[in-house]
Amino acid sequence: MSVSSGRTRGERGPRRGATRRTAVVVVPLLLSALTLTACGSGGDDAGSSADGKIEGDISFQTWNLRANYKDYFEGLAKDFEKQNPGVHVKWLDQPAENYADKLSADAAGGTLPDVVNVSPDLSYPLAKAGVIMSLDKEPAAAKFKADYTPEAWKGNELPGLEGSYAFPWYLNTGPLFYNKTLFQKAGLDPAKPPKTYDELFADANTIAVKSGGKTATLAGTPSIEDFGRYGVPLMNADATKFTYNDAKGAELLTKYLELFKNGGLDSQALTSGPDAVGQKFLQQKVAMNPGSAHDLGTFKQNAPDLYKNLGITDAPNNTGHPNMYVMGMAVNSKSKHKAAAIAFAHFITNKQNQESFAHKVAIFPSTAGSLDQPYWTQDDGTDEGRVRVASARLLKGAVNYTPVVMTDEMKTILKNEVAKALQGKKSPQQALDDAVSQSDKLLKQS
């Protein structure tokens, strides 16, 4: 893997003891080709109830959560109904597979639920089509903005559109594990892992030289998140063109090329999958690798020497801002019972309910002040606690680097062009120019 914490496609529902890593999913282009009708329970008389009362039948949809959290979400719906006797909540849950297609079909067909679980990449086409509301433009929703961290609210803002388009729900980030023994053998201070990319490349070269080329520091090529953390501008302001092929982007890829030649980047980085990379870290052949609390248990059982000398840090960055993944609850802009939909979306994501959910799952609340509590600041001596505290610390000031318009196909294009540069088939600049050109063409098609 690269310095980035990878996202596992299809792993949409949170799992106990594991990080939920959301993949950017391609939303079919039919949204931009259709004139969308009124959606959800709205019909032609969409809008809040005439007197703004929280009442009516509403539906809300989650994303691959029923199997593990049925009691939790059914309890939430019942609690909300008790507090608001005039409301009935219908809970829908969709599998991870083809979730984007389901949202697209519902939006086009006028059956989008009143409240939907989305990530920013899924919000973007819905927001452009006017299917979900800008919370900042709706007074009943905007009044809750201070309930959430500024980073989380901003994480649901969309390029070229005004405002945030989903109530922040939960956040995630991935720590970077490093092998203190390998750092120490190379004469590096194991208490001072690299914080910037210059430090990373310097340490990686040192480890490669001191080990006689036997130990690499990284085992994956740079992803779009690496370019973002390096300080490369990824897109223009309205997200109509990619810009990561500027001089700074070429500089980063050139440094990866030098690392590849010097042995600081694993020789199989162009072909290894996440499992193979993880195995190399387990075998202490790679010095750094992203992971989760689940991995700590594996290290403890299968590599006790590694476990005893394991460091946890954040992926290096030049911006001062770690990476985070964002989940939210969007509100159907055409909901007939808009007041109830807004109230329920806020209820799901309020401080009490977010903290409750985050105690059940390895995710982090986006509500103001939550991450200052002992559960997220004090190590309780468990593997989960060790990673939880380290990760929570990283979320302060974090941003979502992956552009919301960057599809899986565009990521593959970047990966392939990076590989050509590392293989010497193209210069770093030419590889990035070609990646941007191909991706910009896809953007225009959408």
Domain co-membership, 40 together with 124:
yes
Domain co-membership, 409 together with 292:
yes
Percent of the residues in the chain that have a pLDDT greater than 90, as a whole number: 73
pLDDT at 271: 85
Out of 58-72, 105-119, 359-373, 382-396, pick the least confident.
382-396
Q: Is residue 305 part of a domain?
A: yes
Residue 251 token pair:
């500089």
Mean pLDDT rounded to a whole number for the chain:
87
Q: In sequence order, what DSSP letters do the residues of 78-107 get, joined into one string? A: HHHHHH-TTEEEEEEEE-STTHHHHHHHHH
230 vs 387: which has the higher pLDDT? 230
pLDDT at 221: 93
Q: Is residue 4 part of a domain?
A: no
* Chain centroid offset of residue 217 CA: 24
Q: Is residue 14 part of a domain?
A: no
Specify the amino acid at residue 105: A
* pLDDT 10s digits, 47-59: 344 447 899 999 9
Q: Is residue 187 part of a domain?
A: yes
Specify the amino acid at residue 384: E
* pLDDT 10s digits, 244-291: 999 999 999 999 999 999 999 999 999 877 777 888 899 999 999 988
Domain that holds residue 231: 176-321+402-445
Domain co-membership, 86 together with 47:
yes
Specify the amino acid at residue 192: K
Whether the predicted pLDDT of 8 surpasses 60: no
Res. 3 pLDDT band, cuts 50 70 90? low
Specify the amino acid at residue 255: K
Q: Is residue 2 part of a domain?
A: no
For 17, counting Cβ atoms within 10 Å of its Cβ (0-12 exposed, 13-18 middle, 19+ buried), the class is middle
Q: Considering Cα of 294, then 300, then 304, then 309, what sign does the dihedral take?
A: positive
User: Which residues are within 8 A (CB) of 402 and not within 5 positions of it... i.e. 6 or more apart?
Assistant: 24, 121, 224, 225, 228
Q: Is residue 18 part of a domain?
A: no
Domain co-membership, 311 together with 369:
no
Percent of the residues in the chain that have a pLDDT greater than 70, as a whole number: 89
Domain co-membership, 251 together with 347:
no
Domain co-membership, 211 together with 305:
yes
* pLDDT 10s digits, 284-316: 999 999 887 778 888 888 999 999 999 999 899
CATH number of 269's domain: 3.40.190.10
Q: What is the CA radius of gyration of the chain?
A: 23
Domain co-membership, 74 together with 153:
yes
Whether the predicted pLDDT of 144 surpasses 60: yes
Out of 39-43, 67-71, 184-188, pick the least confident.
39-43
Domain co-membership, 202 together with 129:
no
Q: Are 246 and 232 in contact (CB under 8 A)?
A: yes
Whether the predicted pLDDT of 384 surpasses 90: no
Specify the amino acid at residue 333: S
Q: What CA–CA distances, in Å, run from 46 to 114, 143, 167, 238, 337?
A: 11, 21, 20, 29, 8
Out of 30-44, 93-107, 178-192, 334-348, pick the least confident.
30-44
The number of distinct structural domains making up the chain is 2
Given the structure tokens 């594990």, which residue do they identify?
Answer: 177
Domain co-membership, 262 together with 223:
yes
Whether the predicted pLDDT of 173 surpasses 70: yes
Q: Is residue 6 part of a domain?
A: no
Res. 34 pLDDT band, cuts 50 70 90? very low
408 vs 377: which has the higher pLDDT? 377
User: Which residues are within 8 A (CB) of 147 and not within 5 positions of it... i.e. 6 or more apart?
Assistant: 346, 350, 351, 367, 368
pLDDT at 291: 83
Res. 326 pLDDT band, cuts 50 70 90? very high
Domain co-membership, 291 together with 414:
yes
Domain co-membership, 132 together with 252:
no
Specify the amino acid at residue 260: F
* Separation CA 3–CA 18 (nearest Å): 19
pLDDT at 29: 35
* Separation CA 66–CA 280 (nearest Å): 35
Q: Is residue 229 part of a domain?
A: yes
Q: Are 215 and 207 in contact (CB under 8 A)?
A: yes
Domain co-membership, 294 together with 362:
no
Res. 2 pLDDT band, cuts 50 70 90? low
pLDDT at 237: 87
The model's pTM:
0.83
* Separation CA 61–CA 364 (nearest Å): 20
> What dihedral do alpha carbons 69, 75, 81, 83 form, nearest 10°?
-120
Average pLDDT over residues 163-187: 94
